[in-house]
């Protein structure tokens, strides 16, 4: 995990900023070739000159924090994204050139795609060698003959760069997915928050209207009064996930993944808790070849089975048609000028970087003869995430074996390779703690088809690049910059999308159908949060008890059993704890496992990991505050306080007593956070189905935890004194001690404790309270029926509630043969077994079922 680091702290003793000096002989965006600050940069340059470096550092640190919040990807456990405090500024004249070139490219690629997936004149006329396209796996043959009514391209991004003399070239094209939009949007939001006033003073153009137009166009395409639009993105494990989900959130559209969808009768449907909902428009943000396991890559399930045929039958359903990745092929570079002449009757405004396709025999010979001067790249990159382009291979840097391998590859895989000569990059100022420094950069520009015309987003994303080795937009440390276009004379409305979205909205109380996957996630978020809460409470109580033990105040070992009970908990069975060795070092080893084991399902690291994963998937349903609380949960805090495992067994008690207070404090800190989240959901979440599922999860988990705790403590009687200790323990672990004290002035008696913790429906920590709410919640779910014919989960919930309501506390606390409490054990064991079954029934009814995961039939009868 990255946290704001010392990198942004100013160097000691530095107070004023040295003047900016560009690299000699290299074109710089701020100072051009002249060394003077260009007018477009003046507002920024002045601000940075007049602002104290220490203040600037504070801004830079704020950016780091905001970037961390926006880009941190708990799934990948890293956040390598960085945003510069200094923007990259273009005047309107330069931008107009970029705009014209980008739009020309969009038109050209659209024409090429229409031809490749149609008549293929480019082959018959000799404009393009067929092997270039036919070797490319992203040319999707099943899509041949499908003509999207509004053209193939809806989103594309182009990577521009200037050479050291200041001449423009295009180094890469991204037509496959809108990956990268999310990064540009998040950068702009972060920088506006920190440097909003400077942004306005610079009169830079806003990007909100661009997206608003895009959304309006999508709404128009979808048609109808309240169309269901879904952004089909990869699942959270994918590197593009963060960017896509950010874009979907910003555009206020549902993000869905393949398993959320089902194609029925050639239409695409979303699985919701109310059943299947027809999708009016699908915005594709997955790679085309992974979109349909039936007709495309057989092992990829990013899209639903049958999607290709659904698109053939209803081509208007998909925005960003399948198959667009083929024009990303870098081998096209050398053919683009003739293709532009052919399709557009124009010359290219800005050319690609000099590049040779190695499928061409002449080019191959030339490159093999001068291998050291070239960098070899794959023709097809396969990722649209900014900065993640693979580094090319340079023969001069290879070992003799590596070189031989490269030569063999050029011989046998040549249609899949291109060779480039490094051209070098111009620079732009980058902020450092010591002032502005020139850095080589490349620029990503975004184009979208809106109302049948291509429009360029007035802004974008710049990345620092390593000069020399880099030809594509690869950047190892991903230092990015926001791009400002200033001095445009067009009307720039001072509104962003956040506000516009509200204008056309009418009052709605119910949100659109809750996706089954989200319901599932919210249910488990409730369960995991409650599980963490319960576990931490028992840890705290056990430690307090243990500290007392060591002062020889008590000798009951059952709290340790309670800890083991949590640790050993297995949803399918009731664990027999009579054999547990309840020594003090067992307490510490249990504690250690609970706080550090990454494998234990019931361990805190696993629970917190699950919470973070769900938070990522449900981010559009969580407030910023909730997101911060949930992603900040970590078992580390407790784990660092544990005595080292190397501590000698005899020294353990004294080490433990010193640490116990610190551990308790760390546990309480986590409990506060969990409490904060519980409070936020309680206070801030509307009581819709999403809330119902989350609370249902909470209640099921709390009931299960409490039943487990009570069973481990009171299964057998250990004599009055010890039982009495354990009653205090139970009351405190269940946060009900104060209530008990206010009701009864004397030492706890078991039947009174059990009444409060099991039967009292006014106690929000009692079993009956949980079961009553479970029953109530289930009754409100969409598939619940009237009283006459209850669904199985309704019946089970009611059955459990009734059993608890009818229980007799005197009977429960009665000690029978072998010091056992038979009635109590029976009741609790039933709950421990039946609650997981209830959870299972709810899953089966409302969530994507495990057995609904598509299964590929793969066999060959060719013998």
Partner 1 sequence: MSVYKISHRTEYVYGSPVIQSNHLLHLSPRVVASQRILSHELVIDPELTTRHDRVDYFGNPTTLISLEHEHTELSVHSLSKIEVQEAAQPDFLATTPWQDFPPGRQALPAEVIQFVCPSRYAKASSLLFEFARPSFPNGMPMLEGARLLTQRIFEEFRFDNTATDVSTPVEQVLEQRSGVCQDFAHLQIAALRSVGLPARYVSGYILTHPPEGEEKLEGTDASHAWISVWAPETGWVDFDPTNNLVNSQEHIAIAYGRDFEDVSPISGVLLGGGNHTVSVAVDVRPQD
Kindly state the helix (H) or strand (E) to which residue 261 belongs, with its residue range.
strand 261-264
CA distance 797 to 72: 39
* All residues at 6 or more sequence positions from 344 whose CB lies less than 8 Å from its CB, including other chains: 104, 107, 108, 111
Contact between 260 and partner 1 (CB under 8 A)?
A: no
Q: Which residues of 456-478 are buried (b: 16+ CB within 10 A; e: fewer)?
A: bbbbbbbbbbebeebbbbbbeeb
- How many Å apart are CA 834 and CA 322, to the nearest integer? 47
Instruction: Please tell me the distance from the alpha carbon of residue 180 to that of residue 178, in angstroms, as a whole number.
Output: 6
- Judged by CB under 8 A, the residue of 126, 223, 275, 402 near partner 1 is 126
- C-alpha distances in angstroms, 715 versus 57, 106, 566, 802? 61, 73, 15, 22
Contact region with partner 1 (CB under 8 A), list: 206-214, 303-311, 515-523, 804-812: 303-311
Smallest Cα–Cα separation from 79: which of 58, 59, 65, 100?
65
Q: How far is the CB of 724 from partner 1 (least distance, A)?
A: 53
Q: How far apart are CA 665 and CA 638, in angstroms?
A: 9
* Beta bridge mates, 444: 159, 461
Nearest distance, CB of residue 311 and partner 1, angstroms: 12
The smaller minimum CB distance to partner 1, of residues 79 and 380, is found at 380
User: In this structure, how many other beta carbons lie within 10 angstroms of the beta carbon of residue 204?
Assistant: 27
Nearest by Cα to 247 from 483, 3, 461: 461
Give me the least distance between CB of 819 and partner 1, in Å please. 47
**In this chain, which of 84, 238, 295, 723 binds partner 1, going by CB under 8 A?**
295
Closest to partner 1 by CB, 272 or 455: 272
Pairwise CA distance, residues 392 & 399, whole Å? 15
Select the span of 413-421, 721-729, 799-807, 824-832 touching partner 1 (CB under 8 A).
413-421
Task: Give how far Cα 223 sits from Cα of 86, 247, 318, 454, 589, Å.
Answer: 42, 21, 13, 21, 62
Should residue 309 be labelled a site residue for partner 1 when binding is judged by CB under 8 A? yes
Chain centroid, CA 601 distance in Å: 22
CA 136, 139, 144, 147 dihedral sign is negative
The stretch among 1-9, 260-268, 445-453, 713-721 that binds partner 1 (CB under 8 A) is 260-268
What would the x/- binding string for partner 1 be over residues 86 to 125, using CB under 8 A? ----------------------------------x--xx-
Among residue numbers 361 through 390, which ones bind partner 1 (CB under 8 A)? Answer: 361
The answer to the question of residue 264 lying near partner 1 (CB under 8 A) is: yes
Q: Is 840 in the site for partner 1 (CB under 8 A)?
A: no
Task: Work out whether 267 is an interface residue with partner 1 (CB under 8 A).
Answer: no
Quote the least distance from Cβ 139 to partner 1, whole Å: 10
Q: How far is the CB of 722 from partner 1 (least distance, A)?
A: 51
Nearer to partner 1, 141 or 741 (CB): 141
Q: Is 360 in the site for partner 1 (CB under 8 A)?
A: yes
What would the DSSP string read from start to end of 101-144?
HHHHHHHHHHHHHHHHTTT-HHHHTTSS-HHHHHT-TTS-GGGT
* Sole binder of partner 1 in the list 50, 412, 510, 579 (CB under 8 A): 412
Q: What distances in angstroms separate CA 28 from CA 35, 47, 478, 680, one per listed residue?
A: 8, 19, 20, 49
Based on the shown chain and the rule CB under 8 A, indicate whether residue 401 belongs to the binding site for partner 1.
Answer: no
607 contacts: CB under 8 Å, gap ≥ 6: 528, 531, 532, 535
Size of the site for partner 1 (CB under 8 A): 48
Nearer to partner 1, 312 or 822 (CB): 312
CB of 649 to partner 1, least distance (A): 51
CB of 384 to partner 1, least distance (A): 23
Alpha-carbon distance of 355 to 421, in angstroms, equals 7
400 interacts with partner 1 by CB under 8 A: no
In sequence order, the β-bridge partners of residue 432 are 435
Minimum distance of partner 1 from residue 312's CB (angstroms): 8
Q: Is 491 in the site for partner 1 (CB under 8 A)?
A: no
3-state secondary structure of 641: coil
Phi/psi for 272 (5° steps) reads -125, 170
> Which CB atom, from 795 or from 856, has the smaller least distance to partner 1?
856
Q: Which of 223, 298, 468, 493 binds partner 1 (CB under 8 A)?
A: 298
Shortest separation between residue 141's beta carbon and partner 1, angstroms: 4
Under rule CB under 8 A, residue 144 binds partner 1:
yes
| Contact status: 25 vs partner 1 (CB under 8 A) | no
List the one residue from 78, 100, 141, 780 that touches partner 1 (CB under 8 A): 141
What is the closest distance, in whole angstroms, from the C-beta atom of residue 320 to partner 1 in the complex?
A: 21
Instruction: Fill in the DSSP letter of residue 779.
Output: H
Residue numbers 554-593 binding partner 1 by CB under 8 A: none
Residue 448 structure tokens: 């979208």
Rule CB under 8 A: choose which of 262, 517, 558, 569 binds partner 1.
262
Of 183, 161, 563, 102, give the one whose Cα is nearest residue 386: 183
403 forms part of the interface with partner 1 (CB under 8 A): no
Q: Is 399 in the site for partner 1 (CB under 8 A)?
A: no
Nearer to partner 1, 763 or 843 (CB): 843
Q: Rounded to an integer, what distance in angstroms lies between the CA atom of residue 699 and that of residue 705?
A: 10
Q: Considering only residues 305, 594, 616, 703, which one is a binding residue for partner 1 as defined by CB under 8 A?
A: 305
Among candidate residues 619, 500, 505, the one with its CA nearest the CA of residue 206: 500
Please tell me whether residue 278 binds partner 1 under the rule CB under 8 A: no
331 binds partner 1 (CB under 8 A): no
b/e 111-137 (16+ beta carbons within 10 angstroms → b): bbbbbbbeeeebbeeebbbebbbebbe
Q: How far is the CB of 195 from partner 1 (least distance, A)?
A: 50
**Residue 551: which of 708, 622, 657 has the closest Cα?**
657
Within 13 A of 509's CA, how many CA atoms are on the CB side? 1
CB 321 to partner 1: min, Å: 16
- 738 forms part of the interface with partner 1 (CB under 8 A): no
By beta-carbon proximity to partner 1, the closer residue of 287 and 467 is 287
**Least separation, in Å, of the C-beta of 317 and partner 1?**
16
Shortest distance in whole angstroms from residue 270 CB to partner 1: 15
- Compute the half-sphere exposure of residue 196: CA atoms within 13 Å on the CB side of its CA: 7
Q: Strand 261-264's sheet: what is its strand order?
A: 261-264, 267-272, 275-278
Q: Is 857 in the site for partner 1 (CB under 8 A)?
A: yes
Nearer to partner 1, 745 or 858 (CB): 858
Q: Which position among 23, 38, 114, 131 is part of the footprint of partner 1 (CB under 8 A)?
A: 131
- Residue 509 or 863: which CB sits closer to partner 1? 863
Out of 265, 452, 645, 719, name the contact with partner 1 by CB under 8 A: 265
481 in contact with partner 1 (CB under 8 A): no
Phi, psi of 744 (to 5 degrees): -125, 130
Residues that bind partner 1 (CB under 8 A): 120, 123-124, 126, 129-131, 134-135, 137, 141-142, 144, 262-266, 293-295, 298, 305-306, 309, 312-313, 360-361, 408, 411-413, 415-416, 851-863
């Amino acid at each position: 995990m990255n946290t704001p680091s010392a990198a942004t702290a100013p160097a000691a003793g530095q107070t004023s900023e040295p003047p900016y000096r560009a690299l000699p002989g290299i074109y710089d965006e701020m100072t051009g070739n002249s060394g003077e600050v260009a007018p477009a940069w003046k507002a920024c340059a002045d601000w940075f000159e007049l602002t104290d470096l220490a203040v600037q550092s504070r801004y830079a640190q704020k950016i780091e924090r905001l970037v961390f919040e926006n880009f941190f990807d708990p799934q990948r456990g890293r956040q390598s994204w960085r945003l510069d405090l200094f923007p990259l500024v273009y005047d309107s004249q330069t931008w107009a050139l970029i705009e014209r070139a980008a739009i020309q490219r969009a038109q050209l690629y659209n024409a090429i795609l229409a031809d490749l997936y149609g008549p293929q004149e480019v082959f018959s006329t000799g404009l393009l060698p067929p092997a270039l396209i036919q070797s490319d796996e992203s040319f999707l043959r099943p899509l041949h003959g499908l003509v999207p009514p509004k053209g193939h391209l809806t989103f594309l991004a182009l990577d521009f760069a200037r050479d050291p003399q200041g001449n423009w070239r295009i180094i890469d094209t991204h037509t496959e997915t809108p990956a990268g939009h999310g990064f540009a949007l998040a950068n702009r939001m972060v920088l506006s928050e920190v440097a909003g006033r400077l942004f306005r003073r610079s009169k830079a153009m806003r990007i909100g209207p661009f997206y608003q137009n895009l959304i309006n166009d999508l709404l128009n395409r979808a048609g109808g009064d309240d169309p269901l639009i879904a952004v089909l993105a990869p699942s959270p494990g994918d590197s593009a996930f963060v960017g896509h989900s950010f874009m979907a959130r910003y555009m206020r559209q549902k993000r869905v993944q393949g398993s959320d969808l089902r194609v029925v009768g050639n239409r695409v449907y979303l699985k919701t808790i109310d059943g299947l909902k027809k999708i009016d428009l699908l915005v594709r943000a997955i790679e085309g070849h992974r979109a349909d396991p039936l007709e495309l890559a057989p092992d990829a399930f990013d899209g639903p089975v049958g999607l290709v045929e659904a698109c053939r039958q209803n081509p208007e359903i998909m925005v960003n048609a399948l198959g667009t990745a083929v024009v990303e092929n870098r081998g096209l570079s050398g053919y683009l000028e003739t293709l532009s002449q052919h399709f557009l009757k124009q010359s290219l405004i800005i050319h690609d970087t000099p590049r040779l396709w190695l499928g061409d025999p002449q080019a191959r010979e030339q490159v093999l003869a001068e291998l050291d001067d070239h960098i070899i790249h794959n023709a097809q990159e396969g990722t649209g995430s900014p900065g993640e382009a693979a580094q090319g291979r340079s023969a001069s840097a290879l070992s003799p074996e590596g070189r031989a391998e490269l030569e063999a590859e050029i011989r046998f895989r040549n249609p899949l390779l291109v060779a480039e000569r490094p051209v070098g990059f111009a620079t732009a100022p980058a902020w450092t703690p010591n002032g502005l420094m020139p850095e080589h950069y490349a620029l990503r520009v975004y184009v979208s088809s809106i109302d049948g015309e291509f429009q360029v987003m007035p802004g974008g994303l710049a990345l620092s690049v390593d000069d020399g080795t880099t030809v594509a937009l690869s950047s190892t440390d991903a230092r990015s910059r926001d791009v400002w276009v200033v001095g445009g004379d067009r009307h720039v409305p001072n509104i962003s999308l956040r506000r516009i979205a509200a204008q056309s909205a009418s009052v709605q109380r119910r949100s659109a159908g809750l996706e089954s996957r989200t319901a599932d996630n919210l249910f488990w978020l409730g369960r995991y949060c409650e599980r963490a809460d319960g576990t931490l409470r028992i840890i705290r109580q056990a430690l307090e008890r243990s500290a007392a033990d060591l002062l020889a105040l008590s000798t009951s070992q059952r709290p340790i059993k309670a800890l083991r009970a949590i640790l050993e908990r297995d949803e399918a069975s009731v664990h027999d704890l009579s054999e547990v060795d309840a020594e003090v070092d067992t307490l510490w080893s249990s504690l250690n496992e609970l706080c550090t084991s990454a494998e234990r399902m019931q361990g805190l690291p696993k629970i917190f990991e699950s919470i973070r994963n769900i938070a990522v998937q449900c981010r559009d349903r969580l407030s910023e505050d909730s997101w911060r609380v949930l992603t900040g949960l970590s078992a580390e805090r407790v784990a660092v306080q544990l005595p080292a495992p190397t501590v000698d067994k005899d020294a353990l008690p004294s080490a433990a007593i010193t640490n116990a207070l610190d551990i308790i404090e760390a546990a309480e800190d986590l409990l506060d956070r969990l409490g904060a989240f519980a409070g936020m959901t309680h206070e801030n979440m509307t009581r819709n189905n999403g809330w119902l599922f989350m609370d249902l999860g909470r209640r099921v988990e709390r009931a299960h935890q409490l039943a487990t705790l009570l069973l481990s403590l009171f299964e057998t009687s250990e004599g009055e004194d010890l039982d009495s200790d354990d009653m205090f323990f139970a009351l405190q672990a269940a946060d009900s001690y104060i209530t008990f004290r206010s009701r009864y002035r004397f030492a706890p008696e078991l039947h009174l404790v059990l009444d409060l913790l099991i039967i009292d429906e006014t106690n929000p920590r009692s079993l009956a309270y949980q079961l009553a709410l479970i029953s109530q919640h289930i009754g409100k779910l969409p598939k619940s029926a009237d009283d006459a014919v209850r669904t199985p989960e309704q019946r089970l919930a009611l059955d459990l509630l009734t059993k608890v309501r009818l229980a007799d506390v005197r009977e429960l606390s009665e000690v029978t043969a072998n010091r056992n409490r038979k009635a109590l054990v029976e009741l609790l064991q039933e709950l421990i077994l039946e609650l997981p079954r209830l959870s299972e029934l709810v899953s089966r009814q409302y969530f994507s079922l495990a057995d609904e995961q598509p299964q590929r039939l793969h066999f060959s009868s060719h013998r």
